[in-house]
Amino acid sequence: MTREKFYITTAISYPNGDPHIGHAYELIATDVLARFQRADGKEVFFLTGTDEHGIKMLQTARKQDISARELADRNAPKFQQMAQVLNASNDDFIRTTEERHHKASQAIWKAMAEKGDIYLGSYSGWYSVRDEAYYSEDETELREDGIRYGPQGTPVEWVEEESYFFKLSAYQDKLLDLYESQPDFIGPVERRNEIASFVKSGLRDLSISRTTFDWGVPVPGDEKHVMYVWVDALTNYLTATGYPDPDHPRAEFWPADCHVIGKDITRFHSIYWPAFLMSAGLPLPKRIFGHGFLFNKGEKMSKSVGNVIDPFALVDHYGLDQVRYFLLREVPFGQDGSYSHEAIVNRTNADLANDLGNLAQRSLSMIAKNCAGAVPQKGELSDADKAILAMADKALETARSAMLRQAIHQALAAVFEVVAEANRYFAGQEPWALKKTDPARMETVLYVTAEVLRRIGILCQPFIPDSAAKLLNILAVPDNQRDFAHLSENYALESGSALPKPEPIFPRYVEEEAGKAAS
Ligand code: ME8
């Protein structure tokens, strides 16, 4: 049986510096979405990578007195390492300097040219190096410092060059039709509305080549031009599916199901990208999701302020699953969010150490002591038993529909409601009291608790994969019975089967004492 395919991507990061928490956030969230579909039985292809061309890379390299290629080669491995440290389950990591990517970029260029959508002209305008964008005069402002600034507050300079143009203006109506006929194309809804009104206000043709530097993909047939970085960058999503080879083993993954990106690059993804694809005669991705930005205690992170958070240090300090859980639970995915030490400690101690960790610890150590280290005997189920078992099924349904909308926080909340309810169940049934009055009933309560923990463990895998695996291991759940299909009763724990010695899953975060930390 062929499984349904699911293709999901992150944006590709500029490796002009070290990876920061924003990059980590996007990768973790996309990893959760990918793992969720995998556990739900789909054949998933998950792509991430680095965007190595363009003037930003060139300028940073010049400042460091090295070539752009050296800069890319120095930093791209740090992004690969971050993917490992974050336990990202990406199936490929693309670097836009790779041969396969140059080929794909030139192929899409040729397809757009053959369609008659590319022409040679000359471009002059107010160019912001930082935004990599030209602005019209009325979008800029000459300030008192004598410098002209663009709409994003970055300095602009007058640039004149020969340039190829893409007939973006010809796609205005087609794009508006797209947003209308496929309302889920851009998420969340606020982003969709912004984009639609921007496109309605009119689109100008887009300058898509540069002659002022040669760091980029050469334009086929006119090698003094290199492609504008966004033409090549967006094409990375096709490159990884083997484009233009229709027989490539991954060809069938196109079109992508979801491009997960930050809100600052929604325009590139929901205006330029579908227009390029329409021009090249290729199917469009099904959805673009623009997530929010992470701030440090409400402040924008920047190198000059010195409040940039290093994802490696964060994971080292709090633990990987704690960081994954915190970022996805605390911030509704799609909105901006803030990071602080207090928030991460409160969140992970309350939900992971207390609710989930303690429930597993208490119930499994009771089983080890009172049920000879085996899955307890299941007697007749009471209404309370049935209700808590059914909650896990309901959580799967809620999570499924939330994950289709990338509402990761809602999916996670549904799973942790089961954890909270299981704690109430355990406390209410008082198995420690039943031990004396009704040992058979005690076993049933412990059985139900262990079985609910099995279901919670399966549901938690996409979010906190290492800890969920630990939980499933101490319940002796076989490796090949951990998908959502195995949530059902048919795969329930079997009374009498042996369990390993329980181990704690989540240590509590304990603040270092002031004196100790200082010494
Ligand atoms: O934009 N919080 O690369 P990039 C959350 N190369 N997300 C953040 C963030 C923050 N503080 N800062 C950045 C690029 N991001 C291009 C993409 S895709 C064909 C080319 C997100 O390294 C940002 O929104 O500047 C983007 O999605 C990703 O990190 C990479 O940003």
pLDDT tens digits along 469-493: 999 999 999 999 999 999 999 999 9
pLDDT band at 266 (very low <50, low <70, confident <90, very high): very high
* 102-111, 206-215, 246-255, 423-432, range with the lowest pLDDT: 206-215
Domain residue spans of the chain = 5-112+230-291, 117-207, 341-498
Instruction: Look up the pTM and report it.
Output: 0.94
pLDDT at 517: 40
Checking if the pLDDT of 312 tops 80, the result is yes
Q: Who contacts 70 (Cβ-Cβ below 8 Å, separation ≥6)?
A: 61
Distance CA 413, CA 394 (A): 12
pLDDT at 124: 87
- Give the closest residue (by CA) to ligand 1 atom 8: 22
What is the percent of the chain where pLDDT is above 90? 87
Q: What is the mean pLDDT of residues 126-146?
A: 87
- The answer to whether 34 touches 281, Cβ cutoff 8 Å, is no
Checking if the pLDDT of 149 tops 80, the result is yes
pLDDT at 493: 98
Give 10 Cα–ligand 1 centroid separation in angstroms: 9
- Our mutation pick for probing the ligand 1 site, out of 265, 269, 305, counting the most ligand atoms within 8 A of Cβ, is 265
Instruction: Name which residue leads in pLDDT, 299 or 478.
Output: 478
Mean pLDDT of the chain: 94
What is the percent of the chain where pLDDT is above 70? 98
* Binding site membership of 51 for ligand 1 (Cβ less than 6 Å): yes
* Binding site membership of 240 for ligand 1 (Cβ less than 6 Å): no
* Binding site membership of 23 for ligand 1 (Cβ less than 6 Å): yes
Ligand 1 atom closest to 300 (CA)? 11
Burial class for 300, CB neighbours closer than 10 Å (0-12, 13-18, 19+): exposed
Checking if the pLDDT of 515 tops 60, the result is no
Distance CA 210, CA 218 (A): 10
The CATH T-level fold of domain 5-112+230-291 is Rossmann fold (3.40.50)
Look at the chain and count its residues. Answer: 519
Checking if the pLDDT of 514 tops 70, the result is no
Mean pLDDT comparison of 53-67, 117-131, 487-501, highest-scoring range = 487-501
* Binding site membership of 293 for ligand 1 (Cβ less than 6 Å): yes
Is there a shared CATH topology between the 117-207 domain and the 341-498 domain? no
Which among 499, 282, 220 has a CA at the least distance from the CA of 372? 499
Reduced to 3 states (helix: H, G, I; strand: E, B; else coil), residue 110 is helix
Checking if the pLDDT of 74 tops 50, the result is yes
- The answer to whether 232 touches 224, Cβ cutoff 8 Å, is no
Reduced to 3 states (helix: H, G, I; strand: E, B; else coil), residue 382 is coil
* 150-159, 278-287, 376-385, 444-453, range with the lowest pLDDT: 150-159
Tokens found for residue 80:
């690969």
- Give the closest residue (by CA) to ligand 1 atom 4: 13
- Give the closest residue (by CA) to ligand 1 atom 23: 262
Q: What is the mean pLDDT of residues 334-342?
A: 92
* Binding site membership of 262 for ligand 1 (Cβ less than 6 Å): yes
* Binding site membership of 426 for ligand 1 (Cβ less than 6 Å): no
User: 159-195 pLDDT, tens per residue?
Assistant: 888 999 999 999 999 999 999 999 999 999 999 999 9
pLDDT at 315: 97
What is the homologous superfamily of the domain 341-498 according to CATH? Isoleucyl-tRNA Synthetase; Domain 1 (1.10.730.10)
Tokens found for residue 291:
């997530």
- Give the closest residue (by CA) to ligand 1 atom 18: 11
- The answer to whether 144 touches 134, Cβ cutoff 8 Å, is no
Give 407 Cα–ligand 1 centroid separation in angstroms: 19
Q: What is the ipTM of this complex?
A: 0.99
- Give the closest residue (by CA) to ligand 1 atom 3: 13
User: 61-70 pLDDT, tens per residue?
Assistant: 988 999 999 9
Give 14 Cα–ligand 1 centroid separation in angstroms: 8
Checking if the pLDDT of 357 tops 70, the result is yes
| Cα pseudo-dihedral 165, 54, 199, 197, rounded to 10 | -160
Tokens found for residue 411:
């999916």
* Binding site membership of 234 for ligand 1 (Cβ less than 6 Å): yes
Ligand 1 atom closest to 14 (CA)? 22
Checking if the pLDDT of 300 tops 80, the result is no
Q: What is the mean pLDDT of residues 248-257?
A: 98
pLDDT at 510: 87
Amino acid at 478: P
pLDDT band at 298 (very low <50, low <70, confident <90, very high): confident
Checking if the pLDDT of 331 tops 60, the result is yes
* Binding site membership of 14 for ligand 1 (Cβ less than 6 Å): yes
- Give the closest residue (by CA) to ligand 1 atom 10: 22
* Binding site membership of 58 for ligand 1 (Cβ less than 6 Å): no
pLDDT band at 296 (very low <50, low <70, confident <90, very high): confident
Distance CA 378, CA 385 (A): 11
Checking if the pLDDT of 4 tops 90, the result is yes
Residue written as token pair 């300058």:
207
φ and ψ at residue 431, rounded to 5 degrees: -60, -30
pLDDT band at 518 (very low <50, low <70, confident <90, very high): very low
pLDDT at 307: 78
User: 339-349 pLDDT, tens per residue?
Assistant: 889 999 999 99
Checking if the pLDDT of 297 tops 90, the result is no
Tokens found for residue 483:
């998908």
The CATH T-level fold of domain 117-207 is Methionyl-trna Synthetase; domain 2 (2.170.220)
pLDDT band at 513 (very low <50, low <70, confident <90, very high): low
Give 476 Cα–ligand 1 centroid separation in angstroms: 41
